[in-house]
Amino acid sequence: MRTIIKYVLFDLLRNKTIIVYALILAAITISVSGMGDNASKGLLSLLNITLLFVPIISILFSTIYFFNSVEFTELLLAQPIRRKTMLLAQYAGIAIALSIAYLAGVGIPVCILYYTAATITLLVSGLFLTLIFSALALLIFVLFKDKTKGIGAAIITALFFTLLFDGLLLSFIYSFSDYPVDKPLLGLISLNPVDLARVLVLLQLDVAVMMGYSGALFKKFMGSATGSIYTVICMLCWTVIPLIIAARVFKKKDI
């Protein structure tokens, strides 16, 4: 397993897309951080960038890589290696490479400029999003045989979680505004890893005006500490469950 991870990781770290991804994140981070002296505003701007770019890049790049590596996967399947081990090793290599790019592009500059607890939380949120959407890409890969359909599913998944979900949530709030929907909304927010990442950072920043409806709900019913723990557990579930499903489907899949 370690050999496969090293091969995939070293191959990806030389990939121009990964390098450009890290450089673009670094350029955006430095430019946003230099726009003002307020750390909270700077971190909020970086949070919005993380929530928009990281899920889309992670799921698209991972999905394309998995489909382009079908021949390599077939070669590995001919070896005395368990399917589950091989699949998770490939996932680990991609997830680690994307995580290194994120830490290099956002982590290093932001730690130099704003080293606070909220900064660490922002980096943890970005890493979770990388792991989650790479896992979703793996699930898409094992569910679709056709590369075009798989990439289309990846785009739809990214757009749904980054854009459409919040619109549906607002529609739900508006439609049932006459009823006490606060607690059900906590469950609905847990169904979107992007919202969970946003809440995790906002609970640390504790900026009441900027927390938004979801952040205010978590703080009201759970408090900052409990809300953060609950959010981390939900994001761990979002990482592990797609991997378990993907491994089980791939075990029976005919490549």
Contact 138, 91 (CB under 8 A): yes
Give the Cβ contact number of residue 221 at 10 Å.
14
- Distance CA(159)–CA(217), nearest Å, equals 24
Dihedral, CA of residue 166, residue 168, residue 170 and residue 171, to nearest 10: 170
Q: Can you tell me which residue has the tokens 């289309």?
A: 152
Out of 39-43, 89-93, 107-111, 249-253, pick the least confident.
39-43
Question: Mapping DSSP to helix (H, G, I), strand (E, B) and coil, where does residue 180 land?
Answer: coil
For residue range 126-165, list pLDDT tens digits in order. 999 999 999 999 999 999 988 999 999 999 999 999 989 8
- Distance CA(129)–CA(193), nearest Å, equals 7
pLDDT score, position 208: 45
* Region 79-102 average pLDDT: 90
* Region 98-103 average pLDDT: 94
Using pLDDT thresholds of 50, 70 and 90, give the confidence band for residue 37. Answer: low
* Region 101-113 average pLDDT: 88
0.85 surpassed by pTM? yes
- Closest C-alpha among 11, 111, 10, 101 to residue 58: 101
- Distance CA(168)–CA(188), nearest Å, equals 10
Statement: residue 181 has pLDDT above 60: yes
Statement: residue 71 has pLDDT above 80: yes
- Distance CA(219)–CA(202), nearest Å, equals 10
* CA 196, 191, 231, 187 torsion-angle sign: positive
pLDDT score, position 209: 44
Out of 113-122, 148-157, 237-246, pick the least confident.
113-122
pLDDT score, position 20: 93
pLDDT score, position 109: 87
Question: Where are the domains positioned within the chain?
Answer: 2-150+157-252
pLDDT score, position 61: 95
